[in-house]
Amino acid sequence: MINRRDLIKHLSTVPLLGGFLGNGTAEAAGLLAKAPVRNLAKELGIRTFINAAGTYTMMTGSLMQDDVVATIQGAAKEFMMLDEVQTKVGEKIAAITHAESAVVTAGCFSALTLGLAGVLTGMDQKKVEALPHLEGTGMKSEVIIQKGHNIGYSHALTNTGCKIIQVETVEELQKAINEKTALMWFLHIQSDKGLIKHEQWIEIAKKNGIPTMIDMAADVPPVENLWRFNDLGFDLVCVSGGKAMRGPQSAGILMGKKQYIDAARLSMPPRGSTIGRGMKVNKEEILGMYVALDNFVKMDHKKEWKIWEDRVATIENAVKSVKGVSTEVTVPELGNHTPTLKVSWDAAKISLPVKTLQENLRKGNPSIEVMPAENNSLTITTWMLKTGEEKIVASRLKEELSKAVV
């Protein structure tokens, strides 16, 4: 054990520290016990839970990796110029993702808004300040989307003042393109819900000189998707940082052609008088996002996948033993690409509405979140579990189902 006097002696031999020994210095040297951290969940009575559901925004996305948290803590102790952080991090992210340029945004949603803002304004400062008012500015005002892709997230696009034009067929698309068309937008997670696939969408856009953007917010893994859409030729690619990549929940990435990223940054903090001033990302999140991405690209995804499968098997085997329960494991092709366990039960044999089961699991200790499906079924993913939590989920789920056997 090192005592305080030895510690001071030790530290005084470190040249940089000179004669002054502040608490911070000792702490930085990692040699003194840190002050206890407040447990705010306990203090404020906020429920924490085992997340067997998945990467849901309402459940605060994912848990940041230790490295990311350490990066945030380190960055919090120094001032830096916001633009310089973005530029340096952007270069690194761009190199990883095969993009010309990149910038960290306040989530994927703001990447959509800011990317379109960049397309609309270019480097014209007057136009930047005019958004979201397009009339009389010379800016284009329409974004073309396939009908099946038009779920709630397209609101990020109308935030710029643009109108959404929906199309279904190639013919409709050709007809919809006109001098007001600013962007052709694609939503990867719904790509099976539209007739026009990625390559054709890009091809038609290029023929007509119209930029393209893809929303792939929840589409890693597979990790290759991080560069696949840049390689394919989308001008702008938007992804969430706080889902499977386990960066800060409020971070995302806008990547693609340099001319559009440069222009998008004119609508971003620190610049005010912009539609993006409220979409601030701090230096801690920007750096944390970079570390999360870097780790994600380098990690052993096969090994990770096996862990998820083993956890699913543990839960599946436990609940299958209850009479009346059936299970199925699938992997969604689009979005949340991870082994997904569906647990269903015969209502004649097990009298348990899924809402009641959900409530019972929630109220248990530890509390558990699952995702209800139909009235007598639920889905579970294991990628957001901590080591060993699958055993708790397995036994609690089995317990609740067994209790309800009629």
Ligand X SMILES: *Cc1c(COP(=O)(O)O)cnc(C)c1O
The stretch among 101-109, 130-138, 318-326, 377-385 that binds ligand X (CB under 6 A) is: 101-109
- The token duo for 301 is 């995804």
57 vs 321 by CB, closer to ligand X: 57
- Tell me if 262 sits within 8 A of 100, measured CB to CB: no
Q: Does 102 bind ligand X (CB under 6 A)?
A: no
Q: How far is residue 41 from each of residues 68, 197, 239, 388, measured CA to CA in Å? A: 21, 46, 29, 22
| Residue closest to 116 by CA, chosen among 289, 268, 290 | 268
Peptide bond just before 36 cis, omega within 30 deg: no
> Which stretch, 210-218, 274-282, 352-360, 379-387, contacts ligand X (CB under 6 A)?
210-218
Q: Out of 218, 312, 378, 394, name the contact with ligand X by CB under 6 A.
A: 218
Is 345 one of the binding residues for ligand X (CB under 6 A)? no
Q: How far apart are CA 147 and CA 163, in angstroms?
A: 14
162 binds ligand X (CB under 6 A): no
Q: Does residue 248 have a cis peptide bond before it, meaning omega lies within 30 degrees of 0?
A: no
Residue whose CB is nearest to ligand X in the complex, by number: 107
Q: What crossing angle do the helices spanning 389-403 and 354-363 adopt, rounded to 10°? A: 130
Indicate which single residue of 115, 221, 247, 252 sits in contact with ligand X (rule: CB under 6 A). Answer: 252
Maximum Cα interatomic distance, the chain, rounded to a whole number of Å: 81
Looking at the Cβ atoms of 254 and 393, the one nearer to ligand X is 254
Nearer to ligand X, 142 or 215 (CB): 215
**What's the Rg (C-alpha) of the chain?**
25
The answer to the question of residue 382 lying near ligand X (CB under 6 A) is: no
Helix axes 225-232, 198-207, angle to 10 degrees: 30
3-state per-residue secondary structure call for 337-374: CCCEEEEEECCCCECCCHHHHHHHHHHCCCCEECEECC
Toward ligand X, which CB reaches closer, 220 or 385? 220
Q: If binding is defined by CB under 6 A, does position 57 make contact with ligand X?
A: yes
Q: Which residues of 50-77 are buried (b: 16+ CB within 10 A; e: fewer)?
A: bbbbbbeeeeebbebbeebeebbeebee
CA distance 293 to 223: 10
CB of 395 to ligand X, least distance (A): 32
What residue type is assigned to position 382 of the chain?
T
Least Å distance between CB 334 and ligand X?
A: 10
**Considering only residues 240, 274, 327, 340, which one is a binding residue for ligand X as defined by CB under 6 A?**
240
The residue range among 1-9, 76-84, 119-127, 211-219 that interacts with ligand X, by the rule CB under 6 A, is 211-219
Chain positions 301 to 340 lying near ligand X, rule: CB under 6 A, are: none
Q: Is 109 in the site for ligand X (CB under 6 A)?
A: yes
Yes or no: say if 250 and 106 are a contact pair by the CB < 8 Å rule: yes
Per CB under 6 A, the list member of 64, 99, 167, 215 interacting with ligand X is 215
C-beta of 101: minimal distance to ligand X in Å? Answer: 19
Q: Contact between 108 and ligand X (CB under 6 A)?
A: yes
Site string (121-160) toward ligand X, x via CB under 6 A: --------------------------------x-------
In the complex, the smallest distance separating the C-beta of residue 406 from ligand X, rounded to whole angstroms, is 39
Neighbours of 282 (CB within 10 A): 19
Q: What is the C-alpha separation between 259 and 35, in angstroms, rounded?
A: 48
Q: Which of 117, 139, 157, 217 binds ligand X (CB under 6 A)?
A: 217
By CB under 6 A, tell whether 189 contacts ligand X: yes
Q: Least CB distance from residue 21 to ligand X, whole Å?
A: 44
Task: Give the residue with the Cβ less far from ligand X, 109 or 345.
Answer: 109
| Nearer to ligand X among residue 113 and residue 327 (C-beta) | 113
What residue ranges bind ligand X (CB under 6 A)? 57, 107-109, 153, 189, 215, 217-218, 240, 252
